[in-house]
Structure 1
Amino acid sequence: MTYNPQQIIARGPRLISESAADAIDGDLLLEGATYSILEEDEDRDVWRIDAFPTTEEESTRLQEVLANFPQLVVIAEQLADADWLAMALSGLPPVRAGRFFVYGIHDGGKKPHNTVNLRIEAGAAFGTGHHGTTVGCLQAYSDLLKKRGFKRVLDVGAGTGVLAIAAAKTGTKTAVGTDIDANSVRISNENSALNKCNARFVYANGLDHRLVRQDAPYDLVFANILARPLVSLSMPIRGALKPGGLVILSGLLRTQERFVKAAYLSKGFRFIRHIHRDAWCTLVMQKV
């Protein structure tokens, strides 16, 4: 049976919305589910979860999980039978994060002259640069570049490839990205070509791929995924880094910061800083 694309929207107070997002992250049947959480109305304390299930089973499970939070108002809308993602992206404004300017083809005429300009076309991949997690990673990286450069960079869960491409366009000689989704790998490589840079992307689950191992150890690792995978990858990420190497972690809610931070502290990392954007957190930590 053909699945008709849906958007599930849930609105409610911040604490309830963040708890619901935690429940989505912790549900084994929703591993890899695509959703976002953001503040919609500060004065009324209204936060919004937007979820985009890819199967009927995922849609049903998302609605079951959200139903456990009666303070949320949940609606499910059918999306038009069209390239709805491309249509939505066409209306997104370009994004500035530190020295980086992320834009799509529809914003090509707006490129500033004093920024590192990244043309990113999303297709079916995550990471246009608009999400708070991606912006946090770019901002953290931009700030790090004020003090040092990075010869070898790994991007775990690359999505559209924006982070590895940002590295390749700011002096990184070896920029490698991985993703567990074959379409994302294809889109990332296409975006690398669009940006005329040397970032390359491989289909891999974890960090044990030959093309990942051959360039280790890395000076910097990006991991913009989800809280639980971040924790499970803490030791492999440590193994992929050179002594003194840095990791930029994101994809976690502020409520999950202690959980992820503790996992990395226990593996021999030290905390450098965090960046909060909307409900999301980005962590910078260093291997010691």
Structure 2
Amino acid sequence: MSESALQIIARGLRVPAETAASAIDADVLLEGATYSILEEDEDLGIWRIDAFPTTDDEAKGIEAHLRAVEGLEVIVEKLADADWLAMSLSGLPPVEAGRFFVYGAHDQGKVPEGRVTLKIDAGAAFGTGHHGTTVGCLDAFDKLLEKGETFEKVLDVGCGTGVLAIAAAKTGTPIAVGTDIDEASARIANENAEINDAKCEFYFASGLNDARVAKNAPYDLVFANILAAPLVELAPEIAQALKSGGVAILSGLLRTQEDRILDAYRPLGFVVEQTIHNDAWSALQLRKA
């Protein structure tokens, strides 16, 4: 861990910001880095990157990538000691994505009627529903349900908090399975399934060939909200895990990375059905021909 908590902020126009974000995503040494990218000032076209490194090496790597891009103003700030989890919980509003309403314990009294509610608190796993990639996945899934599609078996690759598999289970999927290479995430996802009274199973596993995952293949729908590099690497396994006519909802990628993902999936028989954008992030809905 770094000796003191840091926040690295970069501001600039969209192209430099997305270029820097792509460089961070492509760096294998920064695969676990936490950052966000969004449009800060629509009138001026200013975009902002906020990064929160957890080690000194991570901080140096992120700062180097940001400063290497011309047109970005980079600031490194020390964060004062605080209960960041409690502060983040109090500042996270509920998220609405189609029929889905994602909320934390602090918003217990704001839950509306007639919605599919998902109680997901911020914690050690990714996926509270606030990130543009998660919202994009939920929006894509909601539109599929609106068309009357049903999914008997759903797989959530890189499940994080389990929000996507839980959403599937709460909308009628009888077999919803998730995997994560982070053991804590798999544990948290199982806890969230219990909290939401959702019939899901989450496993700490590397790859899709784990026996507990493979036993339910082929799946009708595969979520993979991870990063561009592992999306490309896992393309053959995701294709193998899906039935013919099955759907893959892929996210964790920037708009600028869409072609890279499609170059990996189109040769495997996938066609694009829908693309959803939230800020700089993209969610792709593909169907296996």
Band of TM-score, shorter chain: over 0.9
Residues 201-237 of structure 1: per-residue CA shift (max 9 Å, x gap)? 1111221212111111110000001111111111100
Taking structure 1 as reference, are residues 71 and 85 closer, same or farther at Cα in structure 2, changes over 3 Å only? farther
Structure 1 Cα separation of the partners of residues 48 and 126 of structure 2: 19
**Structure 1 residues without counterparts, runs of 5 or longer:** none
The change in CA–CA distance for 1:239 and 1:7 in structure 2 (over 3 A counts) is: same
- Structure 2 counterparts to residues 15-34 of structure 1, below 5 A: 15-34=15-34
Query: Aligned runs of 1:1-288 on 2, under 5 Å?
Result: 3-146=3-146, 147-288=148-289
- Is the CA contact 2:9–2:74 (under 8 Å) kept in the aligned structure 1? yes
Looking at structure 2, the residues matched to 83 and 259 of structure 1 have their Cα atoms a distance apart, in angstroms, of 39
Structure 2 contact 89–106 (Cα < 8 Å) conserved: no
The answer to whether the 8 A contact 2:160-2:189 is kept is: yes
TM-score (norm 2): 0.96
- Name the stretch that deviates more: 126-135 or 71-80: 71-80
3-state SS in 1 of match to 2:268: coil
Residue by residue over 1:224-274, the C-alpha shift from the partner in whole angstroms, topping out at 9 and shown as x without a partner, is 011111111111000001111100001111111111112111111111111
Paired letter, 2:65: V
Distance apart, 1:85 and its partner CA: 3.0
Deviation at 1:81, TM superposition (A): 3.2
Distance 1:249 1:2 in 2: 32
- Please say which of residues 238-247 and 32-41 is displaced more in the overlay: 32-41
For the 8 Å contact 2:250–2:283, the answer to whether it is kept is: yes
Looking at structure 2, the residues matched to 275 and 191 of structure 1 have their Cα atoms a distance apart, in angstroms, of 26
The answer to whether the 8 Å contact 2:2/2:56 transfers is no
In the aligned structure 2, how far is the partner of 1:4 from the partner of 1:276?
35
Secondary structure of the corresponding residue to residue 150 of structure 1: coil
Q: Which runs of 5+ in 2 are unaligned?
A: none
d(CA) in 2 for partners of 1:96, 1:153: 22
CA distance in 2, matches of 1:199, 1:80: 39
TM-superposed deviation, 1:2: 6.0
| Paired AA for residue 126 in structure 1 | F
Tell me, what secondary structure is at the counterpart of 1:144? helix
Contact kept in structure 2, 1:105 and 1:121, CA below 8 Å: yes
Residues of 2 paired with 1:6 and 1:176: CA distance? 36
SS of the aligned residue for 1:192 comes to: helix
SS at match of 1:4: coil
In structure 2, distance between residues paired with 1:22 and 1:130: 21
For 1:194 and 1:81, locate their aligned partners in 2 and report how far apart those are by CA, in whole Å.
Answer: 31
Query: Please, what is the CA RMSD of the aligned residues?
Result: 1.3
Q: CA deviation at 1:193?
A: 1.1
Query: Within 2, Cα distance between the matches of 1:13 and 1:269?
Result: 33
Deviations 1:87-109 (A, max 9, x none): 21321110100000000000011
Q: Which amino acid aligns with 1:257?
A: E
CA distance in 2, matches of 1:8, 1:109: 35
Deviation at residue 157 of structure 1 after TM alignment: 0.8
Equivalent residue letter for 1:237: I
**Paired residues, what number?**
288
SS in 2 for 1:266: helix
Deviations 1:161-187 (A, max 9, x none): 110110010111111111111221121
Once the 2 structures are TM-superposed, how far is the Cα of residue 23 of structure 1 from its aligned partner? 0.5
- The offset of 1:42, in angstroms, is 0.5
Change (3 A) 1:134 1:73: same
Report which stretch shifted further, 117-126 or 67-76.
67-76
Residue identity opposite 1:112 in structure 2 = P
Q: Distance in 2 between matches of 1:214 and 1:77?
A: 48
For 2:2 and 2:29, the matched residues in 1 are separated by: 20
**Matches of 2:287 and 2:102, distance apart in 1:** 27
